[in-house]
Structure 1
Amino acid sequence: MTSFLYPKIHPPSFTWSDTQNKIERIHEWIKPITNKIDPIECKKAEIIIVGVPLSRSSISSSGASEFPEAFRRSWRYFTTYNLEDNIDLSTMMAFDAGDVPMHVTDISKCHNNIIYASKALHSHFQTSIITAIGGDHSITAMMVKGMNQVNPLKKVGILQFDTHFDLRDLSENGPSNGTPMRNLIESGIVNGENMYNVGLHGFFNSKNLKIFADENGVNYFTLRQMRKDGMKKTVRRCLKELSSKVDVIYLTVDMDVLDIAYAPGVPASTPGGMTTEELLDGVLEAGKHPLVRAMDLVCLDPLRDSHVQQTVKLGTLVFLTFLSGVALQKKQDKNDEKKGSFL
């Protein structure tokens, strides 16, 4: 099974059997892109998923490369209907593009492959939201670089949910999961002032990283600061400020932002982190914003997870909640159009 995107992107590592039943669950809704799929027709898709199974570039021992497959296998546990927001995701078109090919030993080759794949996806699916399923956090810099190559004149902003700055020195750490934001700043792709990080807390960042963030104008909200105003208000503020400065917003969700009690299957999990409810509220708000045109979900290791795969399921829920925000935004747009037609 191949697709028109091959060889930049390989077929998914796992696919569900095609069913003609009424679409009720996620695995019945999201279809893999194969040669049977019309390349022109699938351009209409609102959502394109791509797996990025890389974790060799992780500072800590990580099996995050296993998440794209675990993510796909978890779809059967979820319906397309979101009871709380009264929306059905199946009203949108979504496709699984497959996985970015990885080299066995050469990390730089892996990163180049991610850039090429991102460029191919953003070139072909120019109106779709590209969602990357990692993989460690190093993939973010590469996905953004690929997106930037398609539209180099568009200013990119970053909304980051993370326990860490991810601004470590590239000369010491290389393009690892500890350096993606610095990578984007030093490569001139994203200005520091156009980065917004929500979720920093505790004793998990060195002072020199804070100094670098301040010197480069990076915007950040600790958990304590966020909780004073609440997650929704904080994210709305970030998005409002970003929308006045950039053309497109990239959302990156590092699952280590969550407290270890909620996400045991995370390599760099910490105590005192974000709650599940807070993160879900945050990604829902992000999904509602029209400038958020790409996102990723990173640093989730199924091999560290419990036997019931609670963190894997939570990662999938984060993804679906983001899509709920997208669906709500589209619903609002349609309502606005109807109102306008009567004026």
Structure 2
Amino acid sequence: MEGSFVSNYPYPLLKRPPFSWDRDENIAEPKVHEWIQTLPVNHDVNWENYDISILGIPLSRSSISASAASENPEAMRREWKSFTTYNIDYDIDLRDLSVVDLGDVKQHVTDIALCHQNITDAMVAMRHHHPHLLPIMLGGDHSITAMLVKGWKKAHANAKIGILQFDTHFDLRDVNEFGPANGTPIRNLIESEIIEGKHVYNIGLHGFFNAKSLKDYADECGLNYTTLREARKQGIEHVVKRAIDELSKQVDTIYLTVDMDVLDITAGPGAPAATPGGMRTDELFDAVYIAGQSDKVKAMDIVCLDPHKDQANSTVKAGVHVMLSFLSGYVNRSSEKSSVR
């Protein structure tokens, strides 16, 4: 039962993680669940001890189609036990990074608007309490991205924000028709004047899964997008590096959003809107690794993963791999990397 401390933990909009793993400080080669920390109970928090924060956002009632993406944060936490901190692809060990699991943003059972407000307020609180930490958010459906970016803008009013989006879809559906849902976050941010269309770079569009009217809207807004077919022709690494380079010259902050439906349906069966012809897992892992290396990438979310639709936890494991691949890139940032303030 929640006591007064927990209700204010570590600021009122958050709930402690739904469970915690036993953590042995003396393990020489920890698994991820033995490495990621949780905050001590009834003790003051020294935020300077941490580099990265993880925050769960268990919301999927705002999905246009039925989804249990709200269950993803807990599912990803349970899969941490399947991974070590060592990445043999790059000969990188993450164990020297100090990562803290903050738990979840409080959600209301039926009031989606209140849930969204809590998400925005939680981002503001994170930027207030520990602005030097790089936040990684585990969604939840894609509606949360608009709320998180709005929170960042509220905390950093003068910051110019760009979006790097790995997605099968534009997510530019009409907010007036669908509301602040999982199909509208990018349009929501553009029409709220939080971001400019020209500061959005979408990589991964393919096939028959976007209406022509959405492409027309993207073109009108000056949105930058590269289809997966074209990205493969040019080389996905090249396309991602170019997007980051161009964004870095225009904005102060790049917000990375990874919609797991960017994966091919065979690789991501747990993404409710996964389709044939999407990315391979290795392509996505490479893409987020590159993004992690950029000092301008100051926040990340992973969204639209429904563990109830998954097969053999393959998509959940891919989601954890995305998070760890991004952190592998983060480790490779220069020793004089800029603060995320």
TM-score normalised by structure 1 residue count: 0.94
Which amino acid in the other structure matches residue 228 of structure 1?
Answer: K
Task: Determine whether 1:333 maps to 2:335.
Answer: yes
Q: Which string of whole-angstrom CA distances, capped at 9 and with x for unpartnered residues, describes residues 82-131 of structure 1?
A: 11111111111110011001100011010001001111112222111100
* 8 Å contact kept, 1:51–1:98: yes
Q: Residue 128 of structure 2 corresponds to which residue in structure 1?
A: 123
User: Which residue does the alignment assign to 1:275?
Assistant: 280
CA distance in 2, matches of 1:334, 1:145: 28
- Give the structure 2 partner of residue 78 of structure 1: 83
- 1:49 and 2:58 matched: no
Count of matched residue pairs: 331
Q: Which is further off, 133-142 or 223-232?
A: 223-232
Tell me the CA shift for residue 290 of structure 1: 0.5
Deviations 1:251-270 (A, max 9, x none): 00000000001011111010
For 2:325, the equivalent position in structure 1 comes to 321
Does residue 265 of structure 1 match 2:267?
Answer: no
Match of 1:139 among 141, 144, 151: 144
Distance 1:119 1:43, change over 3 A: farther
**SS in structure 2 of the partner of residue 157 of structure 1:** strand
Aligned to 2:236: 231
In 2, Cα distance between equivalents of 1:14 and 1:317: 21
CA distance, structure 1, for counterparts of residue 36 and residue 85 of structure 2: 10
Q: CA deviation at 1:4?
A: 4.2
Q: Who is 1:32 aligned against?
A: 38
CA distance in 2 between partners of 1:271 and 1:31 (Å): 37
Q: How does 1:85-164 map to 2 (within 5 A)?
A: 85-164=90-169
Question: For the Cα contact (< 8 Å) 2:55–2:103, is it kept in 1?
Answer: yes
Contact kept? 1:132, 1:297, Cα under 8 Å: yes
Q: Which residues of structure 1 form unaligned runs of 5+?
A: 336-343
For the residues of structure 2 that align with 1:268 and 1:4, how far apart are their CA atoms? 34
Q: CA deviation at 1:73?
A: 0.5
- Post-superposition offset of 1:36: 5.0
| Deviates further, 42-51 or 146-155 | 42-51
> Contact 1:89–1:327 at 8 Å: present in 2 too?
yes
Q: Are 1:118 and 1:146, in contact at CA under 8 Å, matched by a contact in 2?
A: yes
Aligned ranges for residues 232-251 of structure 1 at < 5 Å? 232-251=237-256
Q: Secondary structure at the match of 1:333?
A: coil
Preserved CA contact (<8 Å) 2:11 2:125: no
- SS of the residue corresponding to residue 332 of structure 2 reads helix
Whether the aligned pair in 1 keeps the contact of 2:9 and 2:15 (CA below 8 Å) is no
Once residues 309 and 21 of structure 1 are traced to their aligned partners in structure 2, the CA distance between those partners, rounded to angstroms, is 29
Structure 2 distance, partners of 1:77, 1:62, is 25
Normalised TM-score (structure 2): 0.94
Displacement after TM superposition at 1:208 (Å): 0.6
Residue by residue over 1:304-342, the C-alpha shift from the partner in whole angstroms, topping out at 9 and shown as x without a partner, is 011x2111111100110000000111xx4269xxxxxxx
Change (3 A) 1:225 1:92: same
> Deviations for 1:156-182, whole angstroms, at most 9, x for unmatched residues?
000000000000000100000000000
More displaced, 62-71 or 116-125? Answer: 116-125
Deviation at 1:24, TM superposition (A): 1.2
2:23–2:35: 8 Å Cα contact kept in structure 1?
no
Amino acid at match of 1:319: M
Q: Report the Cα distance in structure 1 between the residues aligned to 2:11 and 2:115, rounded to whole angstroms.
A: 16
Paired residue for 1:341?
A: none
In the alignment, which residue of structure 2 is the partner of 1:61?
Answer: 66
Secondary structure at 2:19's aligned position in 1? Answer: coil
1:167/1:225 CA distance change after superposition, 3 Å: same
Instruction: Report the secondary structure of 1:163's partner residue.
Output: coil
In structure 2, the gaps of 5 or more residues are: none
Question: For the residues of structure 1 that align with 2:336 and 2:256, how far apart are their CA atoms?
Answer: 24
Shift of 1:43: 3.4
Q: Distance in 2 between matches of 1:299 and 1:113?
A: 19
Instruction: Describe the superposition over 1:6-58 as per-residue Cα deviations: whole angstroms up to 9, x where unpaired.
Output: 3211111221123233151111111112435542x223422100000000000
1:75 aligns to what SS in structure 2? helix
C-alpha distance in structure 2 between counterparts of 1:133 and 1:82, whole Å: 21
Aligned partner of 1:333: which letter?
S
Structure 1 distance, partners of 2:275, 2:259, is 12
Offset from partner CA, 1:274-308 (integer Å, 9 cap, x none): 111111110000000001010000000000011x2
Which residue type is aligned with residue 164 of structure 2? L
Whether the 8 Å contact between 1:14 and 1:73 is mirrored in structure 2 is no
